[in-house]
Amino acid sequence: MMIVETPDRAEGPRLDQTLREMGLYLYGPFLLVSVVWIVCAGWVALTAGKRGYNPFVWFLIGLVVSPLLTLVLLALITPRRGPHGPG
């Protein structure tokens, strides 16, 4: 009876080792977080525009500080324009 060992993985460098050597190991997660951050800052800008504030300024604040904190700050500020009652 002959016992044959089969490797669990293929021979050669692993993908994560190759990416580390190329300096691209954190590129994927960093890119994803960056895109989500920019999209959320855009959401802050749209919300600010609907509330009567300058969307570009609020986009920059959200981009630099944090979209979530900026959105909370924007929610705490009274809107400049809003629904007007009859009268």
pLDDT tens-digit readout, 29-86: 777 888 899 999 999 999 999 988 999 999 999 999 999 999 899 889 877 765 554 4
Domain boundary assignment for the chain = 26-76
Q: Are 41 and 67 in contact (CB under 8 A)?
A: yes
CB count within 10 Å of CB 26 equals: 11
DSSP state at residue 65: T
pTM: 0.62
